[in-house]
Amino acid sequence: MSEQVVLEHRGTWAEIILDRPEKGNSLTIPMVQRLGALVGELAADRELRVVFLRGRGRFFCTGGDIGSWGRLTPHEMARDWIEPGIAMLRQLAALPQPVVALINGHALGGGLELAMAADLRIALEGARLGMPEVNLGMIPAWMGVRRLAETIGVARARQMALLGWPITAREALDYGLVNAVAADEAALEQLVSEWRTKLCANAPISMSSLKAMFAGMHRNEDHYHASVAAHLVATEDCREGVAAFLEKRPPVFMNR
């Protein structure tokens, strides 16, 4: 099943591609395991600046394959599906590098949960995003309700989760669920190129520190913000960023 999740590593950036287009890139247990393993590898890559996540074909991800979880016992469901899925998404969200989900088609159920674990999301016009689990007598099993409420607010999260109706890419942009909408594939790739250039040029230590702050935003962060800022001012990258600004040149960050 490893070939159904493909890693394309391009030096300072990488793409994780769901490659099961004949099944809408729906996730199986081996695919979840493979995603977790890949994310673990990327976390330790000091040269990597940004990770993109996309689906092959017409869909981003249509959720968890019902064949993988539909006949599991409660114990098996918790052990083999829910807990590994939560752990994988937690790993993805905790990557030190920014993660950008490229929603090139429908993102439903577990597919939307996967996209929400990313830091930024670009949706293709025509994509639909939704949590249809109530139609199956299920709920979003991988902390999706919490992530959705944190992203778009409780009222809109209730609307999406309780009705189970998908929303359009433009509605998702209005909700704040996606950061940009591309009119077509060419426009999507243009945005990817622009964002990749910018993210690869940013200071990686700063971006990873910001991610840690966002992850802990419900804690009292006064001392943490101060300690992080104090740490960063002593790094080579911060000194280089300041020097480059004063010298009116592009900075060259070394992740040190």
Residues annotated as catalytic are 113, 133
Where would I find the beta strands (DSSP E) of 126-192?
128-130, 167-168, 180-182
3-state secondary structure of 35: helix
Element (H, E) at 238: helix 236-247
CB 98 within 8 A of CB 51: yes
Picking from 111, 234, 106, 247, the residue whose alpha carbon sits closest to that of residue 166 is: 106
Is 23 in contact with 59 (CB distance < 8 Å)? no
What is the maximum alpha-carbon separation in the chain?
A: 64
Distance CA 88, CA 107 (A): 17
Cα–Cα distance measured from residue 224 to residue 219, given in angstroms and rounded to the nearest whole number? 10
Q: Which residue has the tokens 């590098």?
A: 97
